[in-house]
Structure 1
């Protein structure tokens, strides 16, 4: 059932803290918040964007450096400082003319549950809270910030025969200054 649903996916909706990062926020003396992203997640997101998939990021956090990192990967649907993720999720579907069955949502905590219940394929990292695991169709063996996003994007692209490139570019691994 899970593998069959991968064939219909056209968009990935992701949380940041606990999904794209390990959930740790380092705060400098000046108040800047620093997060750590996994480059393999970045590579997978770039591959997805280059293959025509939509990627939407919805987060309660706000950070200019996060915005820079995501823009550098080619992601344009970025919503930061969001209180009710379900409203942003539904608006994204409407704007992009997507059906819920065409969307995979990866979340890790309580605020992600409403949009996860509304999407076609809810997934989570291995270290998600139990309530999120309970509504997920797939639990990645990878924890947040350690390649869980790569895990699910790679599965979709492989099932749809869009993963492998016989002549990969070194640009695929470029890290932006975010």
Structure 2
């Protein structure tokens, strides 16, 4: 049986779930002399997230990190469901989809490393950044041409919205 192209899954995506470190960030953690952990995120990823949230897509973050600054940034983009300090991502995934009556086949999940494997095996469209771990790449239906923290999130969100004819709806000028 011929395997489907990842593009065939895009039309059915209603829900985006992302890891943070290595997906929304480049995986680098800067440590200040006070012990604060600093990360950077792409504003273009943020624009795509905010656009999808405003269009009514379900959004969830499941991350092993527990940084309050990360949570604050994501809440500012409109994401309400954020699981920080998740050491059992599949448990949080199951809780989220059950509580929100979401079918796993309608979920796009982007992860980059071993802790993401269990969830990625359960969703309709497992994705990863270009620089993900080999184990993650091997089960991904789509590997972005962008690295984590450098537009991989925007890449997948934009593709879904374009296929569903929702990308830039508010900015298309009539000439």
Q: TM-score, normalised by structure 1?
A: 0.92
Give the structure 1 partner of residue 148 of structure 2. Answer: 144
Q: Distance in 2 between matches of 1:79 and 1:34?
A: 19
Q: Distance in 2 between matches of 1:166 and 1:10?
A: 20
- The alpha carbon displacement at 1:165 in A equals 2.9
Give the structure 2 partner of residue 79 of structure 1. Answer: 83
Partner SS for 1:78: strand
Q: Distance in 2 between matches of 1:107 and 1:131?
A: 11
- The alpha carbon displacement at 1:32 in A equals 0.8
Partner SS for 1:20: coil
Give the structure 2 partner of residue 171 of structure 1. Answer: none
- The alpha carbon displacement at 1:33 in A equals 0.7
Give the structure 1 partner of residue 60 of structure 2. Answer: 56
Q: Distance in 2 between matches of 1:72 and 1:31?
A: 24
- The alpha carbon displacement at 1:167 in A equals 3.3
Give the structure 1 partner of residue 101 of structure 2. Answer: 97
Q: Distance in 1 between matches of 2:171 and 2:7?
A: 27
Q: Distance in 2 between matches of 1:104 and 1:166?
A: 24
Q: Distance in 2 between matches of 1:67 and 1:91?
A: 19
Give the structure 1 partner of residue 115 of structure 2. Answer: 111
Corresponding pairs, count: 168
Q: Point out 4+ residue stretches in structure 1 off by more than 6 angstroms.
A: none
| Unaligned segments of structure 1, at least 5 residues | 169-178
Q: Distance in 2 between matches of 1:28 and 1:91?
A: 35
Partner SS for 2:159: helix
**Higher percent of residues as helix:** 1
| Unaligned segments of structure 2, at least 5 residues | none
TM-superposition CA deviations, 1:18-60 (whole Å, max 9, x none): 0000000011111111100000000000000011101100000
- The alpha carbon displacement at 1:164 in A equals 1.5
Q: Distance in 2 between matches of 1:134 and 1:167?
A: 37
